[in-house]
Amino acid sequence: MDVADIAALHAEILQAAARIKGVAVRTPLLASAALDARVGARVFIKAENLQHAGSFKFRGAYNRLSQLVGAERRSGVVAWSSGNHAQGVALAARLLGMPAVIVMPADAPAVKIASTRALGADIRFYDRYTESREAIGDRLAADRGATLVPSFDDPHIIAGQGSCGLEIAEQARARGVALDALLVCCGGGGLVAGISAALHVESPATRVYSVEPADFDDLARSLVSGRRETNRADARSICDALLAPQPGEMTFAVNRQTLAGGLSVTDDEVRAAMRFAFAELKLVVEPGGAVALAALLAGRIDVAGTTVGIVISGGNVDPGLFAAIIEGA
Amino acid sequence: MDVADIAALHAEILQAAARIKGVAVRTPLLASAALDARVGARVFIKAENLQHAGSFKFRGAYNRLSQLVGAERRSGVVAWSSGNHAQGVALAARLLGMPAVIVMPADAPAVKIASTRALGADIRFYDRYTESREAIGDRLAADRGATLVPSFDDPHIIAGQGSCGLEIAEQARARGVALDALLVCCGGGGLVAGISAALHVESPATRVYSVEPADFDDLARSLVSGRRETNRADARSICDALLAPQPGEMTFAVNRQTLAGGLSVTDDEVRAAMRFAFAELKLVVEPGGAVALAALLAGRIDVAGTTVGIVISGGNVDPGLFAAIIEGA
């Protein structure tokens, strides 16, 4: 499949949705009177922090791994990840009875490391800023005869994440709602590519925007320039899940066709969004999972009087960091 | 209506559900693979912390207030509450355009006081351990010609909370699931009375249990003795929402017929449940909202191999307390 063919990708998303049906959580599309009042719009929240292993990543991982058979399944998988893809792959591997090795940055949140280990995966650490996770992963996979499972630049991963977009379209229809816009977080771009491809077919009038941390706005700049821009090597953000250096090749081939634009938010806006989610939504949201809410609350696009969706993509956050943020630090 | 007539109460619950339809949130019935694995049962979580104003209380309040008309509506309402009923009444009053005065304990969580005030209600404080909120409320209501809205001992309040039980029954049916047991928190007993009455008719095979803080287990003891027992005056708990001195007259008339038994949990078990909800469910749960989850995690009843529901009743908790609890204090 050529992911840049949006109709073909949509067909693949339908197949992915069938594969994960009854295995992944069909997460709720929530509403909040407090949020509506705050932003002057009708807002619907796709709560992927309520997905298995605490983020949307299980969708793509299970879609990919469930298609491995025979010797491939016995040899298992290798993945690199800052934490959420790690947990998604580890859980999918456990459910499917295959071994998994995960290459994780040494500074990944402790909760993500512990959770990945508890799910039965072997972990290999690397330095996020000096080592190449790709090189480590390639070598590990070659040594073990294992299948490498990319965190975003893979048609089956993108299609699996796209199942979240199908659900949004179905759940909006079931409520008699038409979404004018939808805001989705973006690291490597797999989630927003899958969701935007799904909505491109299911709800073509919905304008889909990516949201990135301010110093990791490679996709926003790439959408403007038309080529894959990179972030500065010294860029930092509390959004540990969204620190990709540049758009994926496949994800950008989708996103350049399907997105209405790219937004970005500061870490302080992310903290404010996490506090709002705690106080008003009663949801535990990790920094990277809060950027779409942050963009909405910060008024990055004019939503007055419209109907808008946001994706909360994950809730895997260390208690110490969460405590500091809700107490206003 | 005689609330002790369960069939009549069920009919009233159906009417309440029709009144709040499209106004209250139809909260999701969630599942968690992590929770299932932990307790060895299939668990469904009714997340009433996602209700408007952060707890189930809006259901009963809106059902009661929406039936006030003419001069009654203009004179408004008076209620006493430790916080969640306060917010539920304040929001319902604002939506219906009527004034509200709320009598709150001076030591209510700051977040509940601030939120009640933000919803436009006037607040009158009292000392939880030395003053009578009933006497203060009665006098305020008489002075203003206002309607007193009890927090649990009122047929319309019980019926409104019962709408939560109807939803649980409907949502379980929609998933093809039969609940063997359902655990519901209990302060004055309005929520568990409404829910158990709904299930008594909708799902008679489901055994419904109340869950209380250990030193506020008046209902558990009353179910055994057959009469309304009281708690010691020096009893304390972090479950601020569940500190009723004894079962309500009306709620006990229901609960003595509908409940399979009464469970109780310690404050430490409640803290552990709040940590579990943070780490695994990604939900913000207040102490009183966590007692059913706490009873499940602490093994208060044997659920191995069964299908069980729990109600998470609210998520209004001060950031400082929440932070201390998730950090293990």
Per-residue confidence band for A108, with pLDDT thresholds at 50, 70 and 90: confident
Cβ–Cβ contact B28 with A under 8 A: yes
In chain B, residues with a C-beta closer than 8 Å to the C-beta of A30 are 25, 28, 50
Residue of chain B minimizing CA distance to A284: B282
Contact A30 B50 (CB under 8 A): yes
Quick one: tokens of B235?
A: 């009893």
Sheet strands (E) in A39-167: 42-47, 77-80, 100-105, 122-126, 147-148
Overall average pLDDT of the B74-94 stretch:
94
Distance from CA of B127 to the nearest CA of A (A): 26
Looking at residue A299, its pLDDT comes to: 98
In chain A, residues with a C-beta closer than 8 Å to the C-beta of B49 are 282
In chain B, residues with a C-beta closer than 8 Å to the C-beta of A50 are 30, 281-282
In chain A, residues with a C-beta closer than 8 Å to the C-beta of B54 are 280, 282
Quick one: tokens of B78?
A: 């008076």
Report how far residue A57's alpha carbon sits from residue A48's, in angstroms, rounded to the nearest whole number. 9
Q: Using DSSP bridges, classify how beta strands B147-148 and B181-185 pair: parallel, antiparallel or unpaired.
A: unpaired
Residue A319 in contact with residue B329, Cβ under 8 Å? no
Over 80: is that where the pLDDT of B193 sits? yes
Residue B42 in contact with residue B36, Cβ under 8 Å? yes
Out of B28, B33, B54, name the one closest to residue A282 (CB). Answer: B54
In chain A, residues with a C-beta closer than 8 Å to the C-beta of B275 are 319
User: Residues B85-110: pLDDT tens digits?
Assistant: 999 999 999 999 999 999 999 988 88
Cβ–Cβ contact A326 with B under 8 A: yes
Out of A31, A275, A322, name the one closest to residue B25 (CB). Answer: A31
Q: A39 exposed, middle or buried (CB, 10 Å; 0-12, 13-18, 19+)?
A: middle
Quick one: tokens of B249?
A: 């007259």
Residue A236 in contact with residue A215, Cβ under 8 Å? yes
Residue B52 in contact with residue A31, Cβ under 8 Å? no
Report how far residue B109's alpha carbon sits from residue B116's, in angstroms, rounded to the nearest whole number. 11
Segment among A67-76, A108-117, A292-301, B151-160 with least mean pLDDT: A108-117
What is chain B's alpha carbon radius of gyration, rounded to the nearest angstrom?
A: 18
Contact A322 B323 (CB under 8 A): yes
Average pLDDT, chain A: 96
Over 90: is that where the pLDDT of B182 sits? yes
Report how far residue A200's alpha carbon sits from residue B87's, in angstroms, rounded to the nearest whole number. 41
Over 80: is that where the pLDDT of B329 sits? no
Contact B322 A319 (CB under 8 A): no
Model-level pTM?
A: 0.95
Cβ–Cβ contact A177 with B under 8 A: no
Total residue count of chain A as it appears in this document: 329
The complex's ipTM works out to: 0.95
In chain A, residues with a C-beta closer than 8 Å to the C-beta of B283 are 282-284
Looking at residue A64, its pLDDT comes to: 98
Cβ–Cβ contact A106 with B under 8 A: no
Contact B328 A319 (CB under 8 A): yes
* H or E element in which residue B43 lies: strand B42-47
Over 70: is that where the pLDDT of A329 sits? no
User: Residues A253-289: pLDDT tens digits?
Assistant: 999 999 999 999 999 999 999 999 999 999 999 999 9
How large is the angle between the packed helices B190-202 and B249-258, nearest 10 degrees?
40
- Both ends of chain B: CA-CA distance in Å? 47
Of B42, B49, B116, B282, which to mutate for an interface test with A (greatest number of A Cβ within 10 Å)?
A: B282
Domains of chain B: 6-56+154-326 (3.40.50.1100), 58-148 (3.40.50.1100)
Cβ–Cβ contact B214 with A under 8 A: no
Average pLDDT, chain B: 96
Contact A319 B281 (CB under 8 A): no
User: Residues B6-37: pLDDT tens digits?
Assistant: 999 999 999 999 999 999 999 999 999 999 99
Contact A322 B326 (CB under 8 A): yes
A263: left (phi over 0), alpha (psi -120 to 50) or beta: beta
- Tell me the residue type at A106: A
- Residues with Cβ within 8 Å of A151's Cβ and at least 6 positions away in sequence, in order, are A57, A79, A80, A81, A85, A157, A188, A190
